[in-house]
């Protein structure tokens, strides 16, 4: 039990802390004009880093299937090491800016600093207790977890008949992308390497994105009024379904976090046209689309809104729309394209919808 928990904590540290830091460093290196504030930089990185791991595993299982768990984990580590190498020159700069930012906040707003620090510490402890103590009980979460398990055993994603496992009889009913189930696959690869057991990391995903959503809301409203921001964050945390989602391990916080981030990036890029914001908007939109088919529809809406409201010249707007479209596709929406081209789930679903429309018209 203790060894499993320790193994999980190491994995959590590597993905959610170390990889977040590396992604932040990489974005910081690209952000020449410093359009992102430090809290925003870290929040975006915290959301993106674990999803990059999932996405890499997804592509690897399609392109280089049937390899060992060690192989897949090593490739992910190699990619992040490469990102670290690219950003290494800015490592000290980012570290110094972060420390200066924290010290300044501690000095100028000591009560708020203390409150947020204490709240985060309490959250972290509560989150870990929940993850260890409360098993998965929700039907849908089991389906996602089982799909992650099937992929870890097959070590292959095959779109021709991919939702059914003839060995066990399991049928994955979902239409959505696979990044969320692959968190389970990734954990099982890690378990293989470390000879550990358990699904603590899979259970922890909800909590990680839960706190990102709360902090995003707090961050944006604090720009207007600190008291209002704290009341809004309290209202969010105390929203019964949102509060309880921390315990259900469903993918909702995962998909909502990317919606919040993508929308905030869109609104920002409308006011301040910037190529980095465009890139991040596309990447985050891709993850949002992958997380859930509703996110796919919302990504389409945000894409159109960018076209309507961007202040860029027509030429730049078209270039940016192309970039955003490609990024949304590469970072997640490609799942739906593959499924329509090579699979059958979406096609079957679309046929069913068409039949229902025809019947309702009769």
Partner 1 sequence: MAQTAMEINTGKFKVITGISIIGCIFLAYLVVFNVYSIINNTDVSELSLPEYIAVSALTEESPNNAAFKQQISLLKKYYHPDPMHPEYLYIDPNVSEEQKILIKDNLISLGYYSDLSSTDRDVETDGKMFFNGNLGQFFRFKLLGNLNWLAIPLLLYGIVTIRKRKRWEIAFFLYYIVSVILIFKDPYNYRYQMTNQPITLALIFYLINEITSNVFIRKYKSIILVSILILVLINSFKAFIVLNKENNNYLTGNISTENKDKESQLKDHPTKTIFDFINNMPSNSHEWFVVNNLSEFYYYTDKPGLYCWFGNWMGAVTCYWENNKIVVMNPDSDTIDKTPTPGINIKYILHNTKYDAYNNKMVEFLRRRTDIIYTAGDYVIYQIK
350, burial (CB in 10 Å: exposed 0-12, middle 13-18, buried 19+): exposed
Measuring CA to CA, how many Å separate 308 from each of 143, 270, 279, 305, 318? 39, 10, 18, 5, 11
**56 or 265: whose CB is closer to partner 1?**
265
189 CA to centre of own chain:
19
3-class DSSP state for residue 165?
A: strand
Shortest Å distance, C-beta 104 to partner 1? 25
Shortest Å distance, C-beta 196 to partner 1? 17
Shortest Å distance, C-beta 8 to partner 1? 17
Sign of CA dihedral 285, 289, 294, 299: positive
For residues 188 and 149, the answer to whether their CB atoms sit within 8 Å is: yes
Residues 6+ apart with CB under 8 A from 205: 50, 180, 183, 249, 251, 254
**19 or 152: whose CB is closer to partner 1?**
152
**135 or 358: whose CB is closer to partner 1?**
135
Shortest Å distance, C-beta 267 to partner 1? 4
**171 or 354: whose CB is closer to partner 1?**
171
**255 or 335: whose CB is closer to partner 1?**
255
Shortest Å distance, C-beta 253 to partner 1? 9
Q: Where do contacts with partner 1 occur on this chain (CB under 8 A)?
A: 133-137, 139-140, 142-143, 145-146, 149-150, 161, 164-171, 213-214, 216-217, 220-221, 224-225, 227-229, 231-232, 234-236, 238-245, 247, 250, 252, 255-256, 259-260, 263, 266-268, 270-271, 294, 297-298, 301-302, 305, 308-309, 311, 344, 348
* Local structure of residue 190 (DSSP, 8 states): H
For residues 310 and 271, the answer to whether their CB atoms sit within 8 Å is: no
């Amino acid at each position: 039990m203790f060894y499993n928990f320790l193994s999980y904590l190491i994995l959590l540290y590597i993905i959610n802390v170390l990889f977040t830091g590396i992604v932040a460093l990489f974005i910081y290196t690209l952000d020449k004009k410093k359009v992102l504030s430090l809290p925003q930089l870290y929040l975006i990185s915290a959301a993106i880093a674990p999803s990059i791991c999932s996405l890499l595993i997804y592509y690897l299982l399609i392109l280089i299937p049937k390899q060992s768990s060690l192989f897949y984990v090593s490739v992910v580590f190699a990619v992040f090491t490469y990102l670290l190498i690219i950003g290494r020159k800015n490592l000290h700069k980012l570290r110094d800016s972060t420390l200066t930012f924290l010290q300044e906040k501690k000095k100028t707003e000591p009560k708020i600093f203390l409150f947020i620090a204490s709240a985060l510490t309490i959250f972290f402890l509560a989150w870990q207790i929940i993850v260890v103590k409360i098993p998965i009980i929700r039907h849908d979460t089991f389906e996602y977890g089982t799909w992650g398990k099937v992929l870890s055993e097959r070590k292959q994603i095959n779109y021709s008949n991919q939702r059914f496992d003839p060995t066990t009889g399991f049928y994955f009913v979902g239409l959505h992308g696979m990044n969320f189930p692959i968190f389970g696959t990734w954990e099982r690869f890690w378990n293989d390497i470390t000879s550990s057991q358990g699904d603590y990391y899979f259970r922890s995903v909800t909590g990680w994105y839960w706190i990102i959503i709360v902090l995003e809301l707090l961050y944006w409203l604090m720009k207007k009024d600190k008291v209002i921001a704290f009341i809004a964050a309290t209202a969010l945390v105390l929203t019964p379904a949102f509060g309880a989602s921390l315990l259900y391990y469903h993918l909702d916080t995962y998909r909502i976090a990317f919606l919040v981030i993508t929308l905030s990036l869109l609104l920002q890029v409308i006011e301040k046209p910037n190529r980095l914001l465009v890139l991040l908007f596309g990447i985050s939109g891709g993850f949002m689309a992958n997380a859930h088919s509703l996110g796919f529809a919302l990504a389409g809406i945000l894409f159109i809104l960018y076209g309507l409201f961007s202040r860029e010249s027509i030429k730049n707007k078209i270039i940016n729309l192309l970039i955003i479209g490609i990024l949304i596709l590469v970072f997640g929406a490609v799942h739906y394209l593959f499924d329509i081209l090579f699979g059958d789930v979406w096609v079957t679903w679309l046929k069913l919808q068409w039949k229902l429309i025809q019947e309702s018209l009769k």
